[in-house]
């Protein structure tokens, strides 16, 4: 095969959920965020593995994602939609039993008028200024919303991955103020919020990125591996270049492997001339630009050229790649492409 091999350990995802569930305060329910197609790993498979581990409440970004999770899980588990009740979503929300997290007066009105009695939640803005009702709007509709019996009131932390950031206690105080006296389950913490401690846990936590083996959950079990096949090997003379734009020129003889993978597969061009792949324990530098389908790699120091080289594995996580390229593990993970041969394993009990 000329496509890369992406290995996804479903038992590691389940193990990470159980670990984060154990970190949540006693009596707190632990949900699971499976948006963006399960962070790029297949929402259906991920949701089934999490449900088998004990998760009963799932969160997605948009109603269409909720449809895929409902198809995988069947009736029963709650599936909440962060974007709320958007125009055109009514039939899907009704037929699939999705729970929109209403973000505004407009959404509240739409939901109550089109689906009276249908379950819903409320999202409030505690300071992130992204989604949710701001304090004045929430104050205006609070009594009406609470009388209708929301399933959950939630907000989202902006800086939970920075434990010492003063935004965290400010948002905590705002969330407590806005929900004071509400006899409704509350949720503030995603993965980072769980790690901040029990003051942030309330009634339900919503781990996301930590399930998939990335920061800020430093103790997470690794979930993904990515191996790229070597298509061709060539010897370079001093002065010869590799790839588009001649951005790498050899100053001594080299052996270069061309591997199958590139930015069409979610391997960012920011790795050009500074990323590495691995042959077992041995790093192999990327030479030249990452192109759409191919990458040049220095294998001069290897005794034999392997059939494939590892981009994500024991020596290099999605967070390591993110550090090299100036981004975050979320972006590396969710950009993994569709051309890879995907192999789902149950490698961890």
E runs forming strands in 184-329:
186-187, 204-205, 224-236, 241-242, 248-249, 254-260, 276-279, 282-287, 294-298, 308-312
Query: Residues near 305 by Cβ (< 8 Å), separated by ≥ 6?
Result: 230, 233, 255, 257, 299
- Residues 39, 200, 212, 244: which is the catalytic one? 244
Q: Does residue 35 have an active-site annotation?
A: yes
* Beta bridge partners of residue 124, listed in sequence order: 133
- Residues 35, 39, 212, 340: which is the catalytic one? 35
Query: Residues near 334 by Cβ (< 8 Å), separated by ≥ 6?
Result: 36, 39, 40
Rg over alpha carbons for the chain, rounded to the nearest Å, is: 23
Burial class of 24 by CB neighbour count within 10 A (0 to 12, 13 to 18, 19+): buried
Q: Is 258 helix (H, G, I), strand (E, B) or coil?
A: strand
Whole-angstrom Cα distance, residue 59 to residue 100?
A: 10
Whole-angstrom Cα distance, residue 9 to residue 12?
A: 5
Question: What are the residue numbers of the active site?
Answer: 35, 244
């Amino acid at each position: 095969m000329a496509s890369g091999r992406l290995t996804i350990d479903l038992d590691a995802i389940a193990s990470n959920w159980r670990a984060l569930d154990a970190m949540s305060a006693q009596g707190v329910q632990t949900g699971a965020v499976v948006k963006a197609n399960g962070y790029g790993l297949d929402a259906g498979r991920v949701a089934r593995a999490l449900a088998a581990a004990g998760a009963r409440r799932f969160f997605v970004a948009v109603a269409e994602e909720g449809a895929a999770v409902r198809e995988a899980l069947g009736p029963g588990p709650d599936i909440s939609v962060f974007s709320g009740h958007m125009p055109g979503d009514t039939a899907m929300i009704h037929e699939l039993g999705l729970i929109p997290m209403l973000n505004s007066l407009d959404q509240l009105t739409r939901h109550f008028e089109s689906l009276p009695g249908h379950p819903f939640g409320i999202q409030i803005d505690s300071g992130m200024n992204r989604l949710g009702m701001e304090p004045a709007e929430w104050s205006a509709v609070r009594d009406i919303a609470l009388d209708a019996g929301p399933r959950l009131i939630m907000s989202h932390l902006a800086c939970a991955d920075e434990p010492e950031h003063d935004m965290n206690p400010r948002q905590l105080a705002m969330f407590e103020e806005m929900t004071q006296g509400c006899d409704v389950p509350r949720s503030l913490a995603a993965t980072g919020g769980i790690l901040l401690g029990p003051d942030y846990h309330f009634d339900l936590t919503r781990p996301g990125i930590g399930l998939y083996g990335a920061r800020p959950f430093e103790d997470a079990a690794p979930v993904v591996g990515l191996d790229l096949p070597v298509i061709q090997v060539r010897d370079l003379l001093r002065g010869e270049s590799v790839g588009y734009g001649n951005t790498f020129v050899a100053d001594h003889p080299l052996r270069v492997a061309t591997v199958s993978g590139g930015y069409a597969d979610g391997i960012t061009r920011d790795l050009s001339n500074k990323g590495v792949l691995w042959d077992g324990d041995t790093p192999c530098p990327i030479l030249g630009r990452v192109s759409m389908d191919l990458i040049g790699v220095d294998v001069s120091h290897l005794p034999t050229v392997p059939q494939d080289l590892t981009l994500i594995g024991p020596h290099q996580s999605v967070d390591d790649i993110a550090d090299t390229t100036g981004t975050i593990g979320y972006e590396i993970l969710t950009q993994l492409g569709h051309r890879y041969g995907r192999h789902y394993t149950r490698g961890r009990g």
